[in-house]
Structure 1
Amino acid sequence: MTTTSSAGGASDALLSVRELQVHFPTSDGLVKAVNGLTFDLESGKTLGIVGESGSGKSVSSMAIMGLHHGTNAQMSGEIMLGGVDLLSLGRDDMRKRRGRDVAMIFQDPLSAMHPYYTVGNQIAEAYRVHHDVSRKIAKQRAIEMLDRVGIPNPDRRVNDYPHQFSGGMRQRAMIAMGLINDPNLLIADEPTTALDVTVQAQILDLLQDLQREFNSAIIIITHDLGVVAEMADDVLVMYAGRAVEHGPCKEILTHPEMPYTWGLLSSVPDLTGDTDARLVPIPGNPPSLLNPPSGCAFHPRCAHRDKVPGDLCRTELPLLVPGQRGAQHTKRCHLPNPDAIYEAEVLPEIAPDLAKEL
């Protein structure tokens, strides 16, 4: 599964993840948080990773950041960034790259920033780690970045503490910290969580503007398919630690081929369509990663497993194979004709007007 070429790897990909596994030994057993994840991402492109809590989104991104070093995590596979396998680096070598080559905007900026240090000090420190400059120069650089991300009066607010910033301003400060070293890859983990819709739109516009300026690749982790529709070039849907669907954003949102993706779309209200259309939640809960279901991990919650011949859904893990619309769109499902099922059964429930047009 790649965004640009075959599973052998995209020659022009900035980031190439191959068969990534992240497991955590616990007293109750082995938690298989990520299993065989593979994808590519080019400079200047955005990959949206979606899925329910516990699907492996943040764990895989923390592996790219090298944040599992020093833990009991068992990792294997490849994470190639700019031709260097990040999994092969030691803790010190990874620290030299973290923040410079790859940076991350964390989900909760209030807890991600230290309450005892000013915002400016924390942003300047991120710069001084990778540049041999004085505190004065680093602080000036921090002021420039705060100004660039839209913080008013940055020369004054640089001396404020995190609690003196609003939620949206803290998120902007985190973006400034993430981009101060002009990283090639920026990972944004739920960057609009707990923000009102106006501030959400401003943050997304800011990320897109800065991406155009720096030509950074962006991974955006979110539960919000509206964010994905606005930001992403490609979408990776994860469930129970595996990729279950991947492809161009428009294809995934308009012609999904995996019942789990159908469930995610069914849970989103269609504000432009029939106001009588029902929200159709996914039944049940995500599986335990200590003891995931056999075969397709989604089969206990899938309303369409009876359409698959035999007992394949329960007994055999489906491969990630090209969908009905070309090799760029891949899906992990045994359904023989998902397009027809989606248009005949799923669309009439979640978007009746669109179903009539088809």
Structure 2
Amino acid sequence: MSTTSSSSPAPMGSAAAPLLSVRELEVHFPTSDGLVKAVNGLTFDLEAGKTLGIVGESGSGKSVSSMAIMGLHRGTNAKISGEIVLDGVNLLDISAEEMRKKRGREVSMIFQDPLSAMHPYYTVGNQIAEAYRVHNDVSKKVAKQRAVEMLERVGIPNPDKRVNDYPHQFSGGMRQRAMIAMGLINDPNLLIADEPTTALDVTVQAQILDLLQDLQREFNSAVIIITHDLGVVAEMADDVLVMYAGRAVEHGPCKEILTHPEMPYTWGLLSSVPDLTGDTEARLIPIPGNPPSLLNPPPGCPFHPRCAHRDKVPGDLCRTELPLLVPGQRGETHTKRCHLPNPDAIYATEVLPEIAPDLAAGAAPTRAEEL
């Protein structure tokens, strides 16, 4: 995957052509109170076989941008601009019928809550088989057998019997596995997983993540995983995109982002993860304040009202000027949207000693390995 600045979207880094290329994506929703700017100027690439982790607080634009890739804002009052190029085709330029043909076959999505995403009146097998028949001219019998095969592949016991069960008869982990089976039944090139481990216990979470990785290797799918959990990102992602107030604020290789973050918002997300090598009674360090209103975002950097380091920026830039997404201190593949000078030194001397004293002192493991 390659990383770009908001002002110059030419690809950098990897020579391979991206499977998915998003350029200056904007998704705005007109309301009676004003225009909700849910996504603004989002740009990223994703190669086949790679995983992009998108992280950020609720309301940062993670799910809205992914739903735009799926074409799920069509038929709403959403105003969408920019480019979403999947395998050479701009999805924003094709008709609704053409998008329906691609949705489920070339790009598929695992939704956050499988119980509400699946229809309660139809069996699990019926819904998985339907997803297959939409894109393949086969009989109901053949589609049902394909559903049984997929349920077996995702680890559902007795799939030939459970295929006739209803969603409420499945446990949370099994419903999530069934959603994965539905998402992968047509071997899509791109799979979007929206909080796939939410509300699952840690053992089932680990099983789901292992399953996704195994299936990704089998199908060579590109994966976008949306999550609040940096531990999931460390386990799954090749690259990380940090979003705040509808914008990308940091973007780069996973290990680089976790070990040398350059944006104070990313520091705040890392501060909320327990330090497994430190004091077990130490309190987590929350990000002060609340995410900004997308109707009336603050001027300048949208994070500046919550940023503890804004006074280190010369003048009044944080309050008056939106920073561009520019290469950080470690090269062009790691970009950040911040006016802060020398963030590497500030993180090493001020932030890391507070959130992980042992790591700041040079103790192993690294932050990325710890997560």
TM-score computed with the length of structure 1 as normaliser: 0.98
Aligned to 2:335, what secondary structure does the other structure show?
strand
The CA deviation at 1:2 is 2.9
Q: What residue in structure 2 maps to residue 234 of structure 1?
A: 239
Q: What residue in structure 2 maps to residue 213 of structure 1?
A: 218
Residues 40-119 of structure 1: matches in 2 within 5 Å? 40-119=45-124
Counterparts of 1:139 and 1:67 in 2: how far apart (Å)? 27
Does structure 2 retain, via aligned residues, the 8 Å contact 1:283–1:301?
yes
Aligned to 1:357, what secondary structure does the other structure show?
coil
What one-letter code is carried by the residue in structure 2 that aligns with 1:50?
V
Q: What residue in structure 2 maps to residue 337 of structure 1?
A: 342
What one-letter code is carried by the residue in structure 2 that aligns with 1:223?
H
What one-letter code is carried by the residue in structure 2 that aligns with 1:82?
D
Give the root-mean-square deviation of aligned CA atoms: 1.4
Residues 1-358 of structure 1: matches in 2 within 5 Å? 2-3=2-3, 7-9=9-11, 12-357=17-362
Does structure 2 retain, via aligned residues, the 8 Å contact 1:65–1:103?
yes
What one-letter code is carried by the residue in structure 2 that aligns with 1:172?
R
Does structure 1 retain, via aligned residues, the 8 Å contact 2:278–2:358?
yes
| Cα distance change on mapping 1:60 and 1:75 into 2, 3 Å | same
- Listed one character per residue, the Cα deviations across residues 155-201 of structure 1 (whole Å, up to 9, x for unaligned) are 00000000000000000000000000000000000000000000000
Counterparts of 1:29 and 1:299 in 2: how far apart (Å)? 23
Does structure 2 retain, via aligned residues, the 8 Å contact 1:277–1:351?
no
Counterparts of 1:73 and 1:53 in 2: how far apart (Å)? 19
Aligned to 1:30, what secondary structure does the other structure show?
strand
The CA deviation at 1:11 is 5.4
Does structure 2 retain, via aligned residues, the 8 Å contact 1:16–1:39?
yes
Aligned to 2:223, what secondary structure does the other structure show?
strand
Does structure 2 retain, via aligned residues, the 8 Å contact 1:222–1:228?
yes
- Aligned-pair identity in percent equals 88
Aligned to 1:115, what secondary structure does the other structure show?
coil
Does structure 1 retain, via aligned residues, the 8 Å contact 2:3–2:335?
no
The CA deviation at 1:277 is 4.0
Does structure 2 retain, via aligned residues, the 8 Å contact 1:347–1:355?
yes
Counterparts of 2:274 and 2:19 in 1: how far apart (Å)? 35
Counterparts of 1:343 and 1:147 in 2: how far apart (Å)? 48
Counterparts of 1:196 and 1:129 in 2: how far apart (Å)? 34
Structure 2: 5+ residue stretches without partners: 364-371
Counterparts of 2:45 and 2:283 in 1: how far apart (Å)? 36
Counterparts of 2:198 and 2:154 in 1: how far apart (Å)? 18
Structure 1: 5+ residue stretches without partners: none
Q: How many residues in Structure 1 have an aligned counterpart in Structure 2?
A: 358
Name segments (4+ residues, structure 1) moved above 4 Å: 3-6
Aligned to 1:150, what secondary structure does the other structure show?
coil
| Cα distance change on mapping 1:4 and 1:151 into 2, 3 Å | farther
What one-letter code is carried by the residue in structure 2 that aligns with 1:328?
T
Counterparts of 1:94 and 1:213 in 2: how far apart (Å)? 25
Does structure 2 retain, via aligned residues, the 8 Å contact 1:56–1:238?
yes
Does structure 1 retain, via aligned residues, the 8 Å contact 2:24–2:82?
yes
Counterparts of 1:250 and 1:11 in 2: how far apart (Å)? 21
What one-letter code is carried by the residue in structure 2 that aligns with 1:278?
R
